[in-house]
């Protein structure tokens, strides 16, 4: 479901330029692009590593294609930061520890857990950043939505997980528990990132000339994230 109703699609070039005149807004955009770029880079790295666990050549090729798509997303965000006159790697650095901690806590033990993490965990994170993007200028929003687009392989993941459950129903219980763990860790990470970075907080709450979320709106946002997670789990044939 979309974020709070906000229509920024008609934002003029002058209004966009004025938004970037606000140093806190500019900082928020740089932080958002930085955290997304780091996320896409680690997603590429993780999927490339997961491909080694693939049980067959077709699966290996599919996961490698997903990794390639993630790297393409990273490159677009990298270029967006460069256009803002920002060193992309400096923008990414503040999020290094957060991502390393998250991936250490959610390291998949096998091929199927890796698939669920790619589909459910990354999907939940993408939902969060789409919510934030609703409060950005048109150009930044378009860049973010483009890089959060489907890698085109969700049906592959759904099919492989459902096949595994059909072959051994006990797999479903184990992966359902794994999915619950992922959502808890991912929501905790999202809340922590928003709270620890003033620029991102400013983007979320808005300003005198920009829409934003109040506390009730933020609560509804996290409810939507949870609902979308449950929908993804159901597609996989897993209880949420």
Catalogue all structural domains in the chain, each as residue range(s) with its CATH number: 16-236 (1.20.1260.10)
Span 50-68, average pLDDT: 90
DSSP state of 84: T
**C-alpha torsion sign, points 66, 71, 76, 80:** positive
| Per-residue pLDDT at 2 | 44
Query: Each residue of 2-50: pLDDT tens digit?
Result: 444 344 444 445 555 566 777 888 888 999 999 999 999 998 998 888 8
Tokens read off for 49: 């590593």
Q: Is the pLDDT of residue 209 over 70?
A: no
| Per-residue pLDDT at 10 | 44
| Per-residue pLDDT at 122 | 83
Span 87-113, average pLDDT: 92
Give φ, ψ of 36 to 5 degrees. -65, -45
Local confidence band at 233 (pLDDT 50, 70, 90 cut-offs): very high
What percentage of the chain reaches a pLDDT higher than 90?
Answer: 40
Beta bridge partners of 210: 207
What percentage of the chain reaches a pLDDT higher than 70?
Answer: 88
Q: Are 161 and 175 in contact (CB under 8 A)?
A: yes
Q: Are 112 and 164 in contact (CB under 8 A)?
A: yes
Q: Are 221 and 53 in contact (CB under 8 A)?
A: no
SS3 percent helix, strand, coil of the chain, rounded to 5, is: 80, 0, 20
Q: Is the pLDDT of residue 239 over 60?
A: yes
| Per-residue pLDDT at 3 | 44
Q: Which residues contact 42 (CB under 8 A, 6 or more apart)?
A: 99, 103
Q: Is the pLDDT of residue 121 over 70?
A: yes
Query: Each residue of 134-170: pLDDT tens digit?
Result: 888 888 999 999 888 765 678 889 999 999 999 999 9
Local confidence band at 186 (pLDDT 50, 70, 90 cut-offs): confident
| Per-residue pLDDT at 95 | 92
């Amino acid at each position: 479901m979309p974020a709070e109703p906000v229509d920024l699609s008609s934002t003029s070039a002058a209004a966009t330029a004025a938004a970037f005149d606000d140093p806190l807004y500019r900082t928020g955009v740089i932080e958002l692009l930085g955290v997304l770029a780091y996320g896409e880079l680690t997603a590429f790295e993780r999927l490339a590593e997961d491909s080694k666990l693939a049980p067959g050549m077709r699966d290996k090729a599919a996961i490698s294609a997903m990794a390639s798509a993630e790297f393409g997303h990273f490159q677009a965000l990298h270029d967006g930061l460069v256009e803002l006159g920002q060193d992309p790697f400096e923008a990414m650095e503040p999020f290094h520890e957060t991502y390393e901690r998250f991936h250490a806590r959610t390291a998949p033990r096998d091929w199927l857990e890796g698939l669920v993490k790619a589909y459910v965990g990354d999907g939940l994170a993408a939902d969060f950043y789409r919510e934030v993007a609703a409060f950005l200028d048109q150009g930044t929003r378009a860049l973010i939505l483009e890089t959060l687009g489907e890698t085109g392989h969700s049906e592959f993941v759904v099919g492989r997980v459902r096949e595994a459950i059909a072959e051994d129903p006990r797999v479903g219980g184990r992966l359902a528990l794994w999915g619950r763990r992922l959502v808890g860790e991912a929501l905790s990470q999202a809340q922590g990132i928003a709270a620890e970075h003033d620029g991102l907080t400013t983007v979320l709450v808005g300003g005198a000339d920009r829409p934003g979320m109040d506390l009730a709106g933020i609560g509804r946002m996290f409810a939507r994230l949870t609902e979308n997670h449950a929908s993804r789990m159901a597609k996989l044939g897993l209880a949420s």
